[in-house]
Structure 1
Amino acid sequence: MSKNIKRWQVLVASTVVLLCTGAVYAFSVFAGPMSATKGWSMSEIMLAFTINAAIGPIPMILGGFLTDKGLAKWAIAIGGLLFGLGFFLTGFATSPAMLYLTYGVIGGLGQGLAYSGCLSNTIKLFPDKRGLASGIITAGMGGAAIIAAPIGNYFIQQFDALYAFRVLGIAYMVIVAVASFFIQTAPANYQPEGWTPPQQPGGKPLVNKNWQNMLRTPFFYLIFLMLFTGAFSGLMIASNASVIGQQMFNLSAGTAAFYVSLYSLSNCAGRVVWGTVSDKLGRNHTLSVILSMIIVAFLILVLLSSQLGFATGIVILGLCFGGVMGVFPPMVMENYGPVHQGVNYGIVFCGYSAAAFFAPKVAASMATANKGDFTKAFYVAIVVALVGFALNIVYMQLKKRVIVPAIS
C-alpha cells in the first residue's frame, strides 16, 4: 500500500482544502462593513470569530480520532464542506445569534475537522520532513486570506458583506469536493522509500503514547501553554488587522484589506520557512527566536505610528504566527509518536483555542475603552510572549534532564 501512496499529491490537495477553510483569518475585512450594514457592534460581531476558533477542540479531536482510525479522507471532505456551508449560510444572517450559529459553530466545526484531518494525515506521510510538511500544510490555512481578503473586499464594495459570504461559501464547497478526490489516507507506520528512521537517544525503542499517557507527562502542559502564548499575538492581529490599520494608522478600507492579505502572506510564508528551519535548528530554539521577534514587532507598532511601522509590524507578526503553527505539530509528534498524533494534537490544540477565546476579546475591549487605540492590548501581547519565552526555557531544561523515548 505504501508504494501506491502519492504523498506529494496528498500534500497539495490537503493544502488546497485549507486554502478554503483558512478564510477565517480574513474576518476583519468583513467585520467593519457588517457592523455598518447591520448596525451590530464590533464586539458582537467579533464574538463570531471567537466562537469559530474557540470551538476548535471538539472537531480537532474528532478529526484526529477519525484520522487515527484511517478515515482522514472523510474527515477532510466532511469538514471542508461543512465550513463552506457555514460560510454560505452566514450570507443570510439576520441577527448576531444567527451569525454565531453559521460562522461560529457550523464554520468552526467544519474548519477544525478539515484542519485536523489534513494536518495529522499529511505529516504521517513525511516522517523524514516533518517540519517542512507541517509548514506547507499549515501555510494553506495561513495563506487563505491572501485570496479571501481582496475577493471578499471586491464583493463587499460591489454588493455587501453578506453577498460576499454567499459567493465564497459556494466556491469553497466546490473546491473542497474536487480536492477530496486526491486525498489518500496515510498507512500505519508509513516510511518513504529509501528512508531509515534515525537512532533514538540511548538506543531505547520507539514509543507511541496515547492521550491518557500524554497527559501524565509534564511536557504536555508546557507545550499546551507555549502554544497558547505563541498563538495569542497572531490571533489578536488576525481578528483585528483591518480595524487596527484604519483606526490607529488612518488607512482606507481598501488599503487595510491589502495589509490583511500581506499579513496572511507572511503567515503563509512563516509556516514553511520556520517549519523548515526547525528541522535543522530544533523546535524549541526556533520557538525562542519566534517569540523574541513577536516582542520586537509589537514594540514597532507601539513606537512607530507611520504606515511603514504598521507594515513592518504586520509582516513580522504574520511570519511569527505562521512559525508557531508550523512548529507545534511536529513537536507533539516527536514527544508522543505518530500513531495517536491526530487525537494528541487535537488535545494540545486546545491551547490555541484558549488563545482564540481571549486574544480577540482582550484587543477589542481594550481598543473600545481607549477610543480605538490598541496600544494597551499590544503591551498585554508582549507580556504573554515573555511568559512563553520563559516556559520554553523551562521545557528545554527539563528535556536535558529527562530522555523521553519517542519519534524524533
Structure 2
Amino acid sequence: MTVKINRWLILAASTLVLLCTGAIYAFSVLAGPLSAAKGWSLPDIMIAFTINSAVAPIPMILGGYFTDKGWAKWSITIGGLMFGLGFFLSGLATSTGMLYLTYGLLAGLGQGLAYSGCLSNTIKLFPDKKGLASGIITAGMGGAAIIAAPIANALIESHDVMYAFRVLGIAYIIIVAIASFCIKSAPKNFVPEGWQNTEDGHPTETVANKNWTAMLKTPIFYVIFLMLFTGAFSGLMIASNASVIGQQMFKLSAVAAAGYVSIYSLCNCLGRIIWGSVSDKIGRTNTLYVIFIVIILAFIALVSLSSVAGFAVGIIALGLCFGGVMGVFPPMVMENFGPVNQGVNYGIVFIGYSLAAFFGPKTAGSIAASSGGSYAQAFYVAIGIAIVGLVLNFVYPRMMRKRA
C-alpha cells in the first residue's frame, strides 16, 4: 500500500545507530592496550571479538522476526542500548570472563538486534533501490570505526583503555536514545509514492515469498550461505587484526596503525554504498566476480609487498571488498526468497557471516602466534577461501537459470 512516510529520515537515523554498533570493527585499536593494561594475552582478548560476532545469528533472527512483525523500532532501540551498555561495562571488566560477558555477549546480542532491525526495515522501505539502501545502511556499520578508532586511541593516550570503553559506551547510549525518536517500522507492503513494480504495480518481487523452512529446502540457499562466508572471511580477518598486522609486519607505530584502521573502515563504509549501488545496475553476480578477484589480488599484494605502500593497497582493497560483500547479500536474499520474510531469512543466511567471524580472526591469530607475528600464512588461507567463493559465484547463476 502507498503510505506517506519520511523513509530518508528513518534511513539516516538507522544509519546513525549503526555508526555506534559498528564500533566492533575498531576492536584492534583497543585490544593491544587492553592486553598491556591487564596482562591478558591477545588471543584470549580476541575471543571477546569472536563471541561478539559469533552470537549474531541469535539476535539477527530474533530481530528479523520482530521486523517482519512490524516491531523494527523496538528491535533497533533495545539492541542499540544493549550494545552501549555492554561497551560501558567492558570498561569495568576485571577478568577475561567478564569481558566475554560484557563485550562479547551483551554487546554482541545488542549489535545483532540493532543491525537486523535497521537493515531489514530499510530494505522494506526501499523496494525501488534495494542495493543502494542496503549499501547506505550497512555503511553505518562499516564506517563506525572511522570515528571510533581515533577517538578511542586519543582516550587511551589521555587516560587509559578502560576509560575509553566507558566514555564510548555512554556516548553510544545517548546517541541511540536520540535516534530512536526518528525511527518507524516500515508499513506492510510499502510502496514509495510514485513508484510501481514493473511487473504488477506492487512492491513484491516476481519470485514467490518463502519462509525460512521453505528457504532451507532450496539448494540455492546453501550456495548463497557459503558465498557470504567466503566473502566475509577475509574482511573479518583484517578488521580484527589490522592494527596488529600494521605494527608487527609493517613496523607502524600505534598511532599510524590506528590511522590505517580508520582507512580500512572508510573503505568498508564506501564499499557498501558503491558496490550496493553498482549491483543494482550490473547485477549481484557480476559485482561479486569483481569483489572476489580483488580480494585475491589484495592478499597477494600483502604477501609480496613488504612496504607500507603494499599494506596501504591491501587495506584499501580489502576494505572496499568487505563493504561490497555486506552491501550485496541482503538484496540477493530478498530477490531469491521474497520480501515478506526478509528479516528472518537474512538472519539465517547471516550465520555464514558469523562462522566467518569465528574462523577468520581465530585463524589469523593462531597462525601469527605460531609464526613469530607474521600473518603471511593466514593470507594464503584467505586467498584459498576467496577462490572457493569465486567458484561458487560461477555456480550461482546457473542454479538460478535451472530454477527458472
User: Amino acid of the residue matched to residue 290 of structure 2?
Assistant: V
Query: CA RMSD for the aligned pairs?
Result: 1.0
User: Amino acid of the residue matched to residue 17 of structure 1?
Assistant: V
Give per-residue Cα distances to partners, 1:281-340, cap 9 Å, x unaligned. Answer: 101110111000000000000011111110110000000000000000000000011110
Q: Does 1:297 align with 2:275?
A: no
User: Amino acid of the residue matched to residue 44 of structure 2?
Assistant: E
Q: TM-score w.r.t. structure 2 length? A: 0.98
Q: Does 1:24 align with 2:24?
A: yes
CA distance in 1, matches of 2:198, 2:156: 52
Q: Does 1:138 align with 2:138?
A: yes
Q: Does 1:373 align with 2:374?
A: yes
CA distance in 1, matches of 2:182, 2:208: 31
Instruction: Give 3-state SS (helix, strand or coil) of 1:344's partner.
Output: helix
Query: Unaligned 5+ residue runs, structure 2?
Result: none
Over 4 Å off, 4+ runs: none
Instruction: Give 3-state SS (helix, strand or coil) of 2:3's partner.
Output: helix
CA distance in 2, matches of 1:194, 1:205: 20
Q: Does 1:164 align with 2:164?
A: yes
Instruction: Give 3-state SS (helix, strand or coil) of 1:3's partner.
Output: coil
| Counterpart residue number, 1:406 | none
User: Amino acid of the residue matched to residue 120 of structure 1?
Assistant: S
Give per-residue Cα distances to partners, 1:361-394, cap 9 Å, x unaligned. Answer: 0000000000100000000000000000001111
Q: How does 1:2-401 map to 2 (within 5 A)?
A: 2-199=2-199, 206-401=207-402
Shift of 1:208: 1.0
CA distance in 2, matches of 1:189, 1:349: 24
Number of equivalences: 400
Query: Unaligned 5+ residue runs, structure 1?
Result: 404-408
CA distance in 2, matches of 1:360, 1:395: 27
Identical aligned residues as a percent: 70
Q: TM-score w.r.t. structure 1 length? A: 0.97
CA distance in 2, matches of 1:376, 1:198: 49
User: Amino acid of the residue matched to residue 328 of structure 1?
Assistant: F
Shift of 1:4: 2.9
Paired residues of 2:299 and 2:314 also in contact (CA < 8 A): yes
User: Amino acid of the residue matched to residue 366 of structure 1?
Assistant: I
CA distance in 1, matches of 2:198, 2:43: 50
CA distance in 1, matches of 2:379, 2:160: 31
CA distance in 2, matches of 1:107, 1:377: 28
CA distance in 2, matches of 1:332, 1:402: 15
Shift of 1:124: 0.3
Instruction: Give 3-state SS (helix, strand or coil) of 1:378's partner.
Output: helix
Instruction: Give 3-state SS (helix, strand or coil) of 1:4's partner.
Output: coil
Instruction: Give 3-state SS (helix, strand or coil) of 1:28's partner.
Output: helix
User: Amino acid of the residue matched to residue 57 of structure 1?
Assistant: P
Instruction: Mark the CA change 1:32 to 1:205 in structure 2 (over 3 Å): closer, same or farther.
Output: closer
Instruction: Give 3-state SS (helix, strand or coil) of 1:322's partner.
Output: helix
CA distance in 1, matches of 2:296, 2:368: 19
